[in-house]
Copies of this chain bind each other. A is one copy, B any other.
Amino acid sequence: MPETARQIADDLRARIESGDLQPGDRLPGEPSLVRTYGVAKMTANQALKILVTEGLAYARPGSGTYVREFRPIRRVANDRLSKARWASGHSIWAADVDRRPLATDVQVYEAEAPHQIGRLLNLEPGAPVLVRSRKYAVEDRPVQIATSYLPADLVRGTAITEPNPGPGGIYARLAELGAEPVNFAEELRARMPSEEERAALNLAAGTPVLEICRTAFTEDERPVEVNQMLLDAGSYVLEYRLSS
């Protein structure tokens, strides 16, 4: 009787979705599945692996396979409108408030603009950019990697070239330079991570990433920053507020 691994996975999935198995609960182990379904150990292994790749469970070698939990961080893209009375407190996904990611591993250096980035920033090919890359973590768990690119000619000699750019962050410093970002364009896509990305974000199998490319523009429509972000999709809910 083929199709056995999928069958077993279906059974377990049903038990998860029905609430019979709660987040954090331990699933029946491989030996248990071998006994109750009369299959080979590897088939039991594959059944569990299906749930892991679906993001419904995670395996802890030597211990067991467990139902995964989903407690996302809320990222509100739009700051000014966020105080609007509409859409306050009305969210479909529960999210922990005040679990704010903290920046770590800040690295700042100058480099030649990558092709795509230079194009977004309206720079000549090969022009220098300031690169600010950092990782964000919550409770020691990495949740996001971000890399900002700014025209080197614009920011050289300012606090933006420091790992800690001072109060208000780099946007405050840009404002002091007469280049305050006021408009933003975000491009967003979801996909499975590469092996390096999996390692860098310490992702469980079956977790997609959200890739965001945000370009910041001044009042006179000049692009002054490109920020490329990679988010652990299992840790985030994004929120956008739009008018008109």
Question: Which residues of A pack against B, CB within 8 Å?
Answer: 10, 13, 53-55, 72, 77-81, 84-87, 90-93, 116, 119-120, 182-195, 205-210, 213, 215, 217, 221, 223, 233-234, 236-244
**Residue A243 contacts which of B80, B194, B237 (CB distance < 8 angstroms)?**
B80
- CB A44 to nearest CB in B, in angstroms, measures 15
Min CB distance A37 to B, Å, is: 18
CB atoms of B77 and A240 under 8 A apart: yes
Nearest Cβ on chain B to A83's Cβ, whole angstroms = 11
Q: Whole-angstrom distance between the alpha carbons of A194 and B55 in the complex? A: 10
Checking B205, B215, B240 against A188 with a beta-carbon cut-off of 8 angstroms, the contacting residue is B240
Q: Which residues of B contact A72 (CB under 8 A)?
A: 189
So how many copies of this chain end up in the complex? 2
Do residues A191 and B208 form an inter-chain contact, with CB atoms below 8 A?
A: yes
**In the complex, are the beta carbons of B187 and A237 less than 8 A apart?**
yes
Residues of chain B lying within 8 A (CB to CB) of residue A193: 54
A191 in complex: contacting residue of B79, B119, B234, B241, CB < 8 Å:
B234
- Bound state CA distance, A191 and B206, in angstroms? 8
Residues of B within 8 A of A190 (CB): 190, 208-210, 233
Please determine whether A241 and B93 come into contact, CB atoms closer than 8 angstroms. no
30 A-B pairs with CB atoms under 8 Å apart are: A10-B195, A13-B195, A79-B244, A86-B185, A86-B223, A87-B183, A87-B217, A90-B215, A92-B120, A92-B187, A92-B213, A183-B242, A183-B243, A184-B242, A184-B243, A185-B239, A187-B238, A187-B239, A188-B188, A188-B238, A188-B239, A189-B236, A189-B237, A189-B238, A190-B208, A190-B209, A192-B206, A192-B207, A208-B233, A240-B240
Residues of B with C-beta under 8 A to A206: 192
Tell which of B80, B90, B186, B223 touches A240, judged by Cβ atoms closer than 8 Å. Answer: B186
